[in-house]
A and B are shown apart, each in its own frame.
Chain A
């Protein structure tokens, strides 16, 4: 057994052991054991993933474990990358959960499910057969469902969110199940090696691709299959939100790349145009919803939808280039997508952990009730600030690097052949650019309204900094963000190895030089230039100002008296201009109720104003389906009245009918 296999076995064993221990130990020890176990699982997974990326691959099959298909695992660089990302997120989430769950979320099931969830997520990219893949996929869905349900006794919304999640994740599972089983039946074998060797007919290949794409897109929160994501991610405990948002959704991308590129071996251009279109739609719609949200964690959930959309744009572009035979550009686009997976994992972990820290301290996720956390929670504020910068695709940030790579791939893809490409590429570039701009507005809102200014509620005013373990976990994710932002060149060889189309960069440690196209970028130099520029501006100001007499004056408050927090910008008012610009897309709903005094209709007693920004796609698409399902239920209820006589009658007539049928048929 090589390092990769050993580390993976260790991580699975530690996960199972800590889950079992969490079931039996007393309440006070559970967070330490489950959280610590999860962190160890994560470390082992990172080791396994890095080993796999370095070229250590392995493959094992146990025929007897699962009837009919057996269980088989293998690790290659692509799987290794996702293994390492998941492991790294699990380290931060595990450490964080020790402080976060103590005293509030230390039930047996919740604690035991955490390491199991991580192990299931680790096994998905290691699975090497249809049976084992589906098994791990379902295990991942079930354990995450248990974790989403953790707080169902406290808030009724949790149960509804979990219901949405359960139904949609299983619909997706069914789509993947059918797709892969059709594939396996045609290939005459279960293992990925056999599938890889088999050439499907175009029609069957298209069917398999569309079915699996449906399932994987629903896992990745891609519009229009995203409805569960902004529900389940905010309602889950924050370390679980981080795990789901930063690693579980990635596995949708993994599945797509594995099935589309690896097992089906690329495909016609329309497959990838579909992926590209879904990605672009999801990126723009996701960030638009996030820009409107006043709920901090819902905002982050919608931003996950957006980032997965960006990744899918990269994957779709890669497939498109591959179908046109442009292997250099394929490598570049796929590398951009995979780098964005990595970057998104880093900053989304950080942001969800920081949002959890806010929730832990104030008990609210409503941005309109937060504010002023800068003084009470300095560490969390710094971490959220780093995360917000990383997420907003501005130069010294993490997302900037991968979005720059993605734009390079898309722009240089313009001259490639085909009308479809010539139309799709500029649209994709526009979608990425619009997304980047809206992301800046969204995260300025999240950080500015949530952390700066004055507290808008007593809860925010009385907040205190989170325990040390939570700060340590946020620190880990923060360091990852900074390193990825300043020195992306150190992970690019690994990304190149995973994308199987070669390394896109001839990199020094500081400057990225793209090999497929002419383009180079040095994030470290940009950051240095920004720092030097800021220092220079401050220095010049100092020199100019010191010659003048300075006078301290009262803050200008219109002379009327103290400013109150009610006068501050809220998240809703900050988003209002954007909402007005995108009025036709988001269709906000406003109600104004004016009630008058009984004595006269000329005097107003109260004015009530309500504004909601409903998810329009969800309403249009899911509303009819839900209504139809309810209609079926209502129709069925007429048959089932609750009368025992009627049920006995049904049984009797069915039996008679079956007997008659048998008599006639035989």
Chain B
């Protein structure tokens, strides 16, 4: 325990200073959430590259949580759905159900090129389509995988902070 305290004291603050607020691209309905947005993440068929970057975005360096977003364990508590990967046939129905399970108003964020337009998997036999083919997408974050800074920027469009 004492070792932990010492380490915390020695390390200090590692978060990077906040970049300027994204100027445009705030989706309709995001203002209703009042700057606090709970997220539910669904991996619809991703290679896990985007997951690693999301984890990094919520880590101590990029610290997405200071802008008012939080990852949740249940869609029942979530305001926005974060989807990664091209939507595979197996995950299409669970993705729809997860979206239905969320209370309204609800937003959808497509993270990564695969989620936006199927990326390198476009036209593959197991892929049902991009996220936009299944659900209405409000925010898109580009990149393969997207950099944590981009993810944080995209999520800041939801909270407006």
Interface residues of A, Cβ cutoff 8 Å to B: 551, 553-554, 556, 558-560
Contact = CB atoms under 8 A, between A and B. Distances in A.
Nearest to A560: B94
Contacts of A556: 74-76, 101
A551 B97 CA distance: 15
Contact of A554 (B74, B95, B97, B104): B97
Contacts of B93: 559
A559 to B, nearest CB: 3
A560 B100 CA distance: 13
A560 B101 CA distance: 12
B65 interface: no
Q: Which of B93, B97, B104 has the most CB of A within 10 A?
A: B97
A551 B74 contact: no
A553 B101 contact: yes
Contacts of B38: none
Contacts of A559: 93-95, 97-98, 101
B42 to A, nearest CB: 8
B76 to A, nearest CB: 6
A551 B101 CA distance: 10
A579 to B, nearest CB: 27
B99 to A, nearest CB: 9
A551 B75 contact: no
Interface string B92-120: 01110110110010000000000000000
18 contacts: A551-B104, A553-B100, A553-B101, A554-B97, A554-B100, A554-B101, A556-B74, A556-B75, A556-B76, A556-B101, A558-B94, A559-B93, A559-B94, A559-B95, A559-B97, A559-B98, A559-B101, A560-B94
A558 B76 CA distance: 11
Contacts of B101: 553-554, 556, 559
A554 B93 CA distance: 13
Contacts of B74: 556
Contacts of B97: 554, 559
Interface of B: 74-76, 93-95, 97-98, 100-101, 104
Given A559-B95, A559-B98, A560-B94, 15 more contacts: A551-B104, A553-B100, A553-B101, A554-B97, A554-B100, A554-B101, A556-B74, A556-B75, A556-B76, A556-B101, A558-B94, A559-B93, A559-B94, A559-B97, A559-B101
Contacts of A553: 100-101
B13 to A, nearest CB: 37
A429 B97 CA distance: 52
A548 B138 CA distance: 25
A547 to B, nearest CB: 16
A109 B137 CA distance: 77
B93 to A, nearest CB: 7
B61 to A, nearest CB: 31
Contacts of A560: 94
Nearest to B95: A559
A397 to B, nearest CB: 34
Nearest to A558: B94
Nearest to B76: A556
Contacts of A558: 94
Contacts of B100: 553-554
Nearest to A549: B104
A553 B100 CA distance: 7
B110 to A, nearest CB: 18
Contacts of A554: 97, 100-101
Q: Which 9 pairs show the lowest CB-CB distances between chains A and B?
A: A559-B94, A559-B97, A559-B98, A556-B101, A560-B94, A556-B76, A553-B101, A553-B100, A554-B100
Q: Which of A553, A556, A559 has the most CB of B within 10 A?
A: A559
A558 B97 CA distance: 8
A145 B24 CA distance: 85
A554 B96 CA distance: 11
A551 B103 CA distance: 9
A554 to B, nearest CB: 6
A558 B42 CA distance: 11
B105 to A, nearest CB: 12
Nearest to B94: A559
A492 B158 CA distance: 67
A550 to B, nearest CB: 11
A549 to B, nearest CB: 9
Contacts of B98: 559
A551 B102 CA distance: 11
Contacts of B75: 556
Contacts of A551: 104
B140 to A, nearest CB: 22
Q: Which of A551, A553, A560 has the most CB of B within 10 A?
A: A553
Q: Which of B76, B101, B104 has the most CB of A within 10 A?
A: B101
Q: Which of A551, A554, A556 has the most CB of B within 10 A?
A: A556
A504 B20 CA distance: 77
Nearest to A555: B101
A553 B104 CA distance: 11
A556 B93 CA distance: 13
Nearest to A556: B101
A551 B94 CA distance: 19
A559 B93 CA distance: 7
A551 B74 CA distance: 18
Contacts of B104: 551
A554 B99 CA distance: 11
A134 B134 CA distance: 82
A560 B97 CA distance: 9
A558 B91 CA distance: 12
Nearest to B98: A559
Nearest to B42: A559
A404 B159 CA distance: 55
A556 B73 CA distance: 12
A554 B100 CA distance: 8
A551 to B, nearest CB: 7
A558 B104 CA distance: 18
